[in-house]
């Protein structure tokens, strides 16, 4: 008997035993004037990827702020998360593996 999935399977890396369903937040209608945070999780070459995103977002009129986790092995410190929440209307967290 085959146990093939009938659609895309999304795996949650947070090790939740019972994943919580989360609705997507609406995208902003425009990037012009948007305060946008870019969070570097400290993985190799992630900064290169974020440099390119920053350039594109600035071309679209976003006001970009950069943040960096001390290590990719742990969640961002509370003070970094608080700072992002206070200073940004949206955030992109990215890695490049």
- In a domain? residue 59: yes
- In a domain? residue 13: no
Type and span of the H or E element at 48: helix 46-59
The whole-angstrom separation of Cα 69 and Cα 40 is 6
The domain of 51 spans: 35-94
pLDDT at 96 over 60: no
Q: Mean per-residue pLDDT for 60-85?
A: 94
pLDDT at 2 over 60: no
User: Could you tell me the pTM of the whole model?
Assistant: 0.72
- In a domain? residue 24: no
- In a domain? residue 9: no
- In a domain? residue 27: no
Number of domains in the chain: 1
- In a domain? residue 76: yes
Q: What percent of the chain has pLDDT over 70?
A: 80
pLDDT at 70 over 70: yes
**What is the predicted pLDDT for the residue at 1?**
45
Handedness of CA 71, 13, 40, 34 (dihedral sign): negative
- In a domain? residue 1: no
- In a domain? residue 57: yes
């Amino acid at each position: 008997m085959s146990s093939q999935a009938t659609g895309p399977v999304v795996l949650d890396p947070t090790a939740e035993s019972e994943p919580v369903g989360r609705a997507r937040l609406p995208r902003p209608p425009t990037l012009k004037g948007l305060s946008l945070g870019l969070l570097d999780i400290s993985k190799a070459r992630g900064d290169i990827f974020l440099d390119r995103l920053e350039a594109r977002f600035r071309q679209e009129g976003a006001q970009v702020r950069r943040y960096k986790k001390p290590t990719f092995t742990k969640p961002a410190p509370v003070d970094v998360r608080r700072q992002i929440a206070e200073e940004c209307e949206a955030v992109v967290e990215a890695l490049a593996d």
